[in-house]
Structure 1
Amino acid sequence: MTGFNIKTTVAAALLAGTALAGGAQAQEVNFWYHFDNADNPMSALVEKFEAENPGITVNAENVPWNSYYDQLYTSIVAGTGPDAALVKLNAQPRLIEMEALEPLDAWLKDWDGTAEIQDNLLTLTASADGTHYYLPVQYVVLYLYYRTDMFAELGLTPPTTCDEFRDAAKALTRDTDGDGQPDVYGFGFRGGKGGHDHWASLTLSREGVGFGPGELTSEAGVAGTQFVVDLFQKDKVFPPSAPNDGFKEIIGAFQGGTTAMTIHHIGSSADMVAALGDKVSAVPVPECGGGRWTSFGDESTAVFSAAQDKDAAWKWISFLSSPGNNAEFNKATGQLPVTKTDSASWDGHEKRFVEATVNSLPFANFLPNTSETADFANTVWPVAMQRALIGEITAQEMNAEIEVLYND
């Protein structure tokens, strides 16, 4: 009997050791994201996830936006990339080329939350061949912000066409302090990285203008870019800093009264209202040259093919796109939730900005979902736009550079 007990004890100890060893195989998810908001909810979401998923640890790293993709691409090549990350659609083709993404279709098929995702979002964020590499987590549509107080002062109404836009911008560009120089400008143009959406709304709206062969270098395509250049060089309705202005500059100028209009999305609306109250509103971008074009702004998550534990990474990103969690995520980011449940009860934005978003959806669009778009957004467009604005190249030459990128 004593011998049996010893053997049993040893066996139990061995089994316990095996279980311990199995438990010691930590399920870790290294997750990259980028939040500017000081009210960052990620720690609370991680804590909730880890409580619901014992044994999985999430290491969430907030990477600065200005270097986000440079760091992401470099880390993937070096083999030190995250297991999952926040990603935009224009980065998808390059990530696919790098064989960096794990398809999500098998998980989506078995996930109860798939039916909760807004009907068109999984279609919009799918790859060119229909494979799903991205799980939507938030979205926005760009529209035109305008200062209602400045418009009322001059008896102006929000512009609906490019001609009305130019007239309003010229009227709103004024010397209000009497020093002989304008101190208020009609429009805050984002000439730095990320400003391609401003240019696109005033250029890609034109009939027959896109990124296909000969479209940007056509008469209509060049006219669109020339319209932007003329607003700066001839009409002088952009601040002098416009060629280098980024997000912080255009928003700061608008809130501070240096500009009367700018283009962004509902993610800025809470700060706008906090700074300006009812002195700010929004409408869809103007019709230019026969049509309208505005950017559908996506933000999704992805699991990377080199992830140490892909199932754990999927559990984490699907958690972020589930009802309740997705609402908390978007309360901090200021964008719109992707789940039907959270959307139905959404009160995170003022009604006028939600309406401007919804009214812009019929003509919301994407840049081409190709590998060239990452280069366009990160380098080709900002460099060419800055050079065109300061007169180093013509509108024709700028569009020709983009044409070569997409069609050479």
Structure 2
Amino acid sequence: MKHNMWILIVFFALAGCKGKDGDKLTIWVMGAEGEKIKDVIALFEKENPDISIRIQSIPWSDAHMKLLTSVIGGTTPDICQLGTTWIPEFASMNALASLDRYVEGSDVVKEGNFFEGSWRTNIIGSSIYGIPWYVDTRVLFYRKDILKEVGYDHPPSSWEEMKYLCHGLVRDTNGDGIPERYAINLPTSDAFILLIFIWQAGGDILSPDYTNPTFDDPKIREAFEFYYSFFDEGLAPLGGTADIDLFHAFKIGFLPMFISGPWMIELLSKQVPEIDGRWAVATLPKKETGTSFIGGCNLSIFKNSNNKEAAWRFIEYMSRTENQTRWFELTGDLPAVKAAWDQDVLNVPIITAFGKQLEDARPSPPIPEWEEIRDKMEVYLEEVIYKKRSMDEALEFLQRDVKKILSRR
């Protein structure tokens, strides 16, 4: 009896220590990362034997609703991968833990270690609610051989050069108004590309304090006109990627240029390997600036986690230069830590172009209303491109609608 009592005492003492250490973490990871992160977590657990991590992989299509449900039901994980545009929404729900004190005491996670735009995706008010995990940005993909045919041995560097090149690329040999080759693929409704053009023209869609829309700014009209002109001048096909197999169109030269992100590198190599070596990427052409959008994913700790210290140790681990590089090798996801870009594995032209663009890249407005504003921008942009609404009216309605959205705060 006495022997059994000692066994029970030792068992509960050990169990108590384990719980106190907070060594059982749950992490939610989206899409393909959910499978690929297993090897990284195994290495983390080997280095930190007092912490074990349970992974739940969630498809991107289900992720947002599952997160909302978990916040409402109080069943959030300790750590979660969040898209950069989701941080404002979940921070406004008071669901995320502020990481200010952890950052202040960290020798690994420092603001200057990360791309500025990526770090800013986590700042709400004056607090930080996530740490950049990996990044993406939009750049220009182009067929080197086709540009060379029209006298260009380099990508366009300005808006003016871009338009000149596009007119040179279009081919309509029989003059029927239906080109055998367009110059560029642009979606007819893409708020991110429109936002990029607005920034490049020197504008912004909201006041600095994010309380008022600024769609009456002439610089925004200039960006709208630039976007619209590609369709009006027959340089881009109506319908965009919705009606076109972009990979085939890029392969046969029907669309020798398009704007996209780093995920296209692997997709192009798999879908159209026969043109490997004949395409390249470049930073976006400039107006006042060459600014692009910065996205990617961050790692956040939920407010109701009982294992915040252990969760922070995992975030620090993922923020180390060698682990950022390892993650790139596993997935192709671009490192958020700038020092990782000095490694040989990233020193290839297709990748370095992204690194250069990331030095001039901004996040979307860090407000929970962004998704609703984005929807409005895309609706009115498409109506302008299809000539269902005048540009003056579209901008007037955008100013009105976004003002209403912001007034509901």
- Report the TM-score range of the alignment, normalised by the length of the smaller protein: 0.7 to 0.9
Give the Cα separation in 2 of the matches to 1:241 and 1:161. 25
Q: Where do residues 291-370 of structure 1 align in structure 2 (5 Å cutoff)? A: 291-339=289-337, 342-348=340-346, 350-354=348-352, 356-361=353-358, 363-370=360-367
- The answer as to whether partners of 1:141 and 1:265 remain within 8 angstroms in 2 is yes
**Alpha-carbon distance, 1:304 to partner:** 1.0
- The answer as to whether partners of 1:201 and 1:293 remain within 8 angstroms in 2 is yes
TM-score of the two chains, using structure 2 as the length reference: 0.81
Amino acid aligned to 2:217 = S
Task: Could you tell me which runs of 5 or more consecutive residues in structure 2 were left unpaired when the two chains were aligned.
Answer: 405-409
Q: Identify if the C-alpha distance between structure 1 residues 353 and 329 changes in structure 2 by more than 3 Å, giving closer, same or farther.
A: closer
Give the Cα separation in 1 of the matches to 2:392 and 2:32. 36
- The answer as to whether partners of 1:216 and 1:399 remain within 8 angstroms in 2 is yes
TM-score of the two chains, using structure 1 as the length reference: 0.81
Residue 79 of structure 1 is matched in structure 2 by 74
**Alpha-carbon distance, 1:325 to partner:** 2.3
**Alpha-carbon distance, 1:150 to partner:** 1.0
**Alpha-carbon distance, 1:149 to partner:** 1.1
- The answer as to whether partners of 2:89 and 2:367 remain within 8 angstroms in 1 is yes
**Alpha-carbon distance, 1:148 to partner:** 0.5
**Alpha-carbon distance, 1:270 to partner:** 4.7
Secondary structure at 1:144 match in 2: strand
Q: Where do residues 28-67 of structure 1 align in structure 2 (5 Å cutoff)? A: 28-36=24-32, 40-54=35-49, 56-67=51-62
User: Does structure 1 residue 241 correspond to structure 2 residue 239?
Assistant: yes
Give the Cα separation in 2 of the matches to 1:330 and 1:352. 14
Q: Where do residues 41-190 of structure 1 align in structure 2 (5 Å cutoff)? A: 41-54=36-49, 56-115=51-110, 118=113, 121=116, 123-156=119-152, 157-174=154-171, 181-190=178-187
Give the Cα separation in 1 of the matches to 2:32 and 2:176. 36
Q: Identify if the C-alpha distance between structure 1 residues 397 and 323 changes in structure 2 by more than 3 Å, giving closer, same or farther.
A: same
Q: Identify if the C-alpha distance between structure 1 residues 405 and 52 changes in structure 2 by more than 3 Å, giving closer, same or farther.
A: farther
Amino acid aligned to 2:286 = E
User: Does structure 1 residue 14 correspond to structure 2 residue 35?
Assistant: no
Q: Identify if the C-alpha distance between structure 1 residues 64 and 13 changes in structure 2 by more than 3 Å, giving closer, same or farther.
A: closer
**Alpha-carbon distance, 1:205 to partner:** 1.7
Amino acid aligned to 1:284 = T
**Alpha-carbon distance, 1:20 to partner:** 5.2
Amino acid aligned to 1:33 = V
**Alpha-carbon distance, 1:118 to partner:** 1.5
Give the Cα separation in 2 of the matches to 1:349 and 1:373. 35
- The answer as to whether partners of 2:109 and 2:316 remain within 8 angstroms in 1 is no
Secondary structure at 2:276 match in 1: helix
Q: Identify if the C-alpha distance between structure 1 residues 287 and 100 changes in structure 2 by more than 3 Å, giving closer, same or farther.
A: same
The number of residues matched between the two structures is 393
Q: For structure 1, which segment, 98-107 or 181-190, has the greater mean C-alpha deviation from structure 2 after superposition?
A: 181-190
Q: Identify if the C-alpha distance between structure 1 residues 164 and 331 changes in structure 2 by more than 3 Å, giving closer, same or farther.
A: same
CA RMSD of aligned residues (A): 3.5
Secondary structure at 2:103 match in 1: helix
User: Does structure 1 residue 218 correspond to structure 2 residue 212?
Assistant: no
Q: Identify if the C-alpha distance between structure 1 residues 260 and 205 changes in structure 2 by more than 3 Å, giving closer, same or farther.
A: same
Q: Where do residues 366-385 of structure 1 align in structure 2 (5 Å cutoff)? A: 366-377=363-374, 379-385=375-381
- The answer as to whether partners of 1:31 and 1:83 remain within 8 angstroms in 2 is yes
Secondary structure at 1:311 match in 2: helix
Task: Could you tell me which runs of 5 or more consecutive residues in structure 1 were left unpaired when the two chains were aligned.
Answer: 1-5
- The answer as to whether partners of 2:325 and 2:343 remain within 8 angstroms in 1 is no
Q: Identify if the C-alpha distance between structure 1 residues 79 and 323 changes in structure 2 by more than 3 Å, giving closer, same or farther.
A: same
- The answer as to whether partners of 1:188 and 1:254 remain within 8 angstroms in 2 is no
Give the Cα separation in 1 of the matches to 2:360 and 2:110. 25
User: Does structure 1 residue 286 correspond to structure 2 residue 285?
Assistant: yes
**Alpha-carbon distance, 1:243 to partner:** 7.2
Give the Cα separation in 2 of the matches to 1:370 and 1:300. 16
Give the Cα separation in 1 of the matches to 2:330 and 2:400. 40
Seq. identity, %: 21
